Amino acid sequence: MQQAPQTIVIVGGGTAGWMAANLLAQQWGRHGTQITLIESSEIGIIGVGEGSTPYLRQFFKRLGIEEREWMPACNATFKCGIRFPDWSTQPGYEQYVHPFFNQEDLPVGGEFFTNACLRRRGSAADANPQDFFIAAELARQRKAPFYLPREDGSPSPQTDYAYHFDSGLLGAFLKQHAFKLGVRHQIDTVARVDLCENGDIAQLQMDSGALVGGDLFIDCSGFRGLLINEALGEPFISYKDKLFNDRAIAIPSALDESQDIPSETTSTALRHGWVWQIPLSSRYGNGYVYASDFVSPEQAEIELRQHLGAAVANSEARHLKMRVGRVEQHWRNNCLGVGLSQGFIEPLEATALMLIQFSVEVFIDLMEQGEFSRRHQAQFNRHINKMFEGVLDYVAAHYRLNTRSDSDYWRANRENQQISDRLASILEVWDQGGDFEAELTSHGDALMYIRPSWYCLLAGMGRFPANLQAFKQQQEILTGAQARSKLESTAKRFFGHRDYLRSMK
Ligand SMILES: Cc1cc2nc3c(=O)[nH]c(=O)nc-3n(C[C@H](O)[C@H](O)[C@H](O)COP(=O)(O)OP(=O)(O)OC[C@H]3O[C@@H](n4cnc5c(N)ncnc54)[C@H](O)[C@@H]3O)c2cc1C
């Protein structure tokens, strides 16, 4: 067996760099691997990225970091799902929720799938997911995803959830933790990258004059892709024809202290894109993700400010460009692209940190399986590409399914033919009332999103036949109002969000 890499050099001190540093040090520090993270004091971090998927819970578990330790330090809150107002104009479906799913969902949530199938086949059953899932009700009542203790002391069921956090504070927290794991830190700017004859990176020449060599280089340099794109020339595949958004404007606002803290992300469609609202324990993070082919930055900022109102009258806006797509190979020679350098799918489902985590975890696993050789490099690249394409399909489906007609942007999105064969097939089977279960199953693990998520998206957007028949079958079905009233009482047994966060300090 060959040795684990002896020296790993990470370029970039954004979330990607510090996440990678922690995971690699945790895994290979014991093999004597020395990890150095280099970051430039002149080139800032992107400084956004404040929502996660539930998968981030595994990251902290793997590092042995408790929520009580990191969440208060990062002004973090709990996320029960994402609410999508104004993507659809279908009556009863003007907003919907993509919830995180729980074991406890079965009795009521199970009825949602039945209703969605009936409605898809022409019966007027209620099928907006926001009425059927506990997480959606928890968010409506601004609850934390934790049951109050039971009187008899018996354990409560587990619920699934994700997080919101201040990205700058998360980076600072992960930096301190990486130091504990022995990661070295160098502040300097890479000026040149020297390559070997075989295309490997030999060393980095720094602005200070220092030379930095290593066995393995991790490119966490952000959208620029300093090592993987610029130095190694790895091609970048743009998703611009599938996802039009290429800009964002971020702007913070104050929390309303008179109310509890929301436990969901809200992603509201506007004329030329959508606005995120992410509640932290200290403030809201807001931002407009839009397409520069359809609206100017100035006009987009006006739209965003109109949407947010007086709450942001005195807040400064940050304008950001986004490079949406991915590199062809994420691992090339002795270089691994991680984070924005490897690719980015716009943040509608908050998947970027999940892809960072997956990339590093899969890399560690395959390196170990290949006895620290490059034996599984092609397999790694196929795997990560499959994940990117899987997320792309799910995100692209939101745009395809919109029913807005207030701008060319939304019409162009709805009419866009640049969708994958897989997504086209999923939509066709749904629309034709075919066997949707079999359709989803046929794509195996190529779908990054599980079955309930696809149902929630398609039903939540109100993608149903126009002329529905009154429901005639003998079988009783649950109405949205009945489902909601059952969940309302369940949700009362959960902690208030602010109370739970306070109890963690
Ligand atoms: C608008 C927007 C919203 C987003 N929302 C979400 C979200 O809700 N959820 C989510 O998971 N993700 C989100 N993301 C993505 C998330 O922000 C990033 O994936 C994450 O912050 C990781 O960024 P990074 O570390 O790859 O790059 P960056 O933060 O850009 O860091 C780059 C680092 O490289 C260093 N560097 C660059 N060049 C050099 C050089 N020559 N020498 C030395 N150092 C150098 C810089 O100093 C910096 O430290 C969002 C992104 C955008 C644009």
**Residue 56: CB within 6 Å of ligand 1?**
no
Going by the DSSP 8-state scheme, the letter that residue 228 receives in this structure is I
Pocket lining: 448 vs ligand 1, CB cutoff 6 Å: no
Taking CA atoms only, the protein residue closest to ligand 1 atom 3 is 49
**Judgement on whether residues 182 and 227 belong to the same structural domain of the protein:** yes
- From 61, 79, 321, 486, active-site residue: 79
Query: Hey, which of 10, 39, 74, 77 would you mutate to test ligand 1's pocket, going by the most ligand atoms within 8 Å of its Cβ?
Result: 39
- Helices (DSSP H) in 164-266: which residue ranges? 167-180
Q: How far is the CA of 387 from the centre of ligand 1 (A)?
A: 19
Q: Which of 269, 298, 321 is the last residue of a domain?
A: 321
Residue 20, domain member (yes or no): yes
Residue 15 half-sphere exposure toward CB, CA atoms < 13 A: 25
Ligand 1 atom at minimal distance to the Cα of residue 188: 43
Residue identified by tokens 């959960």 is: 494
Rounded distance, CA 168 to CA 74, Å? 8
Residue nearest to atom 15 of ligand 1 (CA): 49
Do 348 and 458 fall within a single domain? no
Domain count, the chain: 3
**Above 80 in pLDDT, residue 2?**
no
Rounded distance, CA 194 to CA 344, Å? Answer: 27
- In short, whether 227's Cβ falls inside 6 Å of ligand 1 is no
Q: What angle do CA 302, 306, 311 make, to 5 degrees?
A: 115
Domain boundary among 302, 321, 340: 321
Residues 139 and 286 in one domain: no
Look at residue 158 in the predicted model and tell me its pLDDT: 86
Q: The domain that contains 336 carries what CATH number? A: 3.50.50.60
C-alpha 174 chain-centroid distance: 19
| Residue at 264 is within a domain | yes
Least confident range from 111-125, 206-220, 395-409, 472-486: namely 472-486
User: Quick check: 200 pLDDT over 80?
Assistant: yes
How confident is the model over 275-324, as pLDDT tens digits? 999 999 999 999 999 999 999 999 999 999 999 999 999 999 999 999 99
User: Rounded distance, CA 318 to CA 270, Å?
Assistant: 18
| Under 8 Å between Cβ of 38 and 458 | no
User: Given ligand 1 and candidates 43, 304, 336, 395, which is best to mutate, with the most ligand atoms within 8 Å of its CB?
Assistant: 43
489 and 424 share a domain?
A: yes
Is the beta carbon of 48 within 6 A of some atom in ligand 1? Answer: yes
Is 11 a pocket residue for ligand 1 (Cβ < 6 Å)?
A: yes
221 pocket-lining for ligand 1 (C-beta < 6 Å): yes
Tokens of residue 216, six digits: 């393995």
Instruction: Over range 132-159, report the average pLDDT.
Output: 94
Q: Is 352 in the pocket of ligand 1 (CB under 6 A)?
A: yes
Whether 311 is covered by a domain: the verdict is: yes
**Mean pLDDT value across residues 324-351:** 98
In the residue annotation, 143 being an active-site residue is answered as: no
Residues 148 and 170 reside in one and the same domain:
no
Q: Rounded to whole angstroms, how far apart are CA atoms 219 and 109?
A: 42
Same domain flag for 196 and 333:
yes
Residues 205, 351 within the same domain: yes
Residue nearest to atom 37 of ligand 1 (CA): 221
Q: CA torsion sign, 455 to 410 to 163 to 355? A: positive
Q: Kindly give the number of the ligand 1 atom that is closest to the alpha carbon of 276.
A: 8
| Cα(261) to centroid(ligand 1), Å | 27
Same domain, 316 and 331: no
Contacts of 116 (CB under 8 A, 6+ apart): 125, 127, 455, 458, 459
Q: Is residue 268 part of a domain?
A: yes
What's the domain range around 328? 7-50+166-241+324-387
Any atom of ligand 1 within 6 Å of the Cβ of 220? yes
Residues 223 and 176 in one domain: yes
Residues 218 and 261 placed together within one structural domain of the fold: no
47 CA to middle of ligand 1, Å? 7
Sign of the Cα pseudo-torsion (427, 430, 436, 439, in order):
negative
99 part of a folded domain? no
pLDDT digits (tens, 9 = 90+) for 440-464: 999 998 999 999 999 999 999 999 9
Instruction: Tell me the β-bridge partners of 237.
Output: 326
In a domain, 202, yes or no: yes
Please state, as a whole number, how many other Cβ atoms lie within 10 Å of the Cβ of residue 41: 10
Return the ligand 1 atom nearest residue 16 CA: 25
- Note the pLDDT of residue 382: 98
Q: Do 369 and 425 fall within a single domain?
A: no
Q: Is 350 exposed, middle or buried (0-12, 13-18, 19+ CB in 10 A)?
A: buried
461-494 tens-digit pLDDT: 999 998 888 766 666 889 999 999 999 999 999 9
Contact status, residue 201 vs residue 335, Cβ threshold 8 Å: yes
Domain contains 189: yes
CA 234 to ligand 1 center in whole angstroms: 19
Is the C-beta atom of 16 inside 6 A of ligand 1? yes
Query: Strand 211-213 to strand 247-253: parallel, antiparallel, or no bridges (unpaired)?
Result: unpaired
Strand, helix or coil for residue 11? strand
Percent of the chain predicted with pLDDT > 70: 99
Is residue 358 a part of any domain in this protein? yes
Same domain assignment for residues 211 and 343: yes
222 lines ligand 1 (CB under 6 A): yes
**Residue 469: what pLDDT?**
81
Select from 117, 139, 203 the least CA-distant residue to 429: 117
Q: Which of 363, 387, 411 is the last residue of a domain?
A: 387
- Residue whose structure tokens are 């034996």: 375
- Per-residue pLDDT of 339-393, as tens digits, reads 999 999 999 999 999 999 999 999 999 999 999 999 999 999 999 999 999 999 9
Please state, as a whole number, how many other Cβ atoms lie within 10 Å of the Cβ of residue 212. 17
